[in-house]
Amino acid sequence: MTERGSAMNITDIKIRRLLNENRLRAVVSITLDNDFAIHDIKVIEGSDRLFVAMPSRRETSGEFRDIAHPITAKARKELEDAIVEEYLRYVNEHKEETQGD
């Protein structure tokens, strides 16, 4: 198989649920190239920043393993930056709606 040279194209980000459970802040779905969806991505509040956890499942050993994830650090940063940016925009937009009531 040959290596693909094109960049990942995130064509949609949907904030599915806002949460305030421990450090979990949101559950997100993304679409890549209008062709491939990844659901159950989590936005988590870390000690110094928000970060993204990819969907995972528990192995029989009890360890969690990502179901889908970026392969390169560059792709992970691009994905995380886009999701966190959309999360912050969504929260800000909905905060203003709530304050307007």
pLDDT number for residue 20: 86
Pinpoint the alpha helices (H) of 1-101.
73-100
Q: Which pLDDT value is given to residue 95?
A: 78
Rounded CA separation 101/80 (Å): 32
pTM: 0.84
pLDDT value at position 18?
A: 93
- Evaluate whether 75 touches 64 at the Cβ level (below 8 Å): no
CATH fold for the domain made of 10-100: Arylsulfatase, C-terminal domain (3.30.1120)
For residue 3, what pLDDT is reported?
59
**By the 8 A CB rule, do 45 and 25 touch?**
yes
Low-confidence ranges of the chain (pLDDT < 50): none
Where exactly are the structural domains of the chain? 10-100
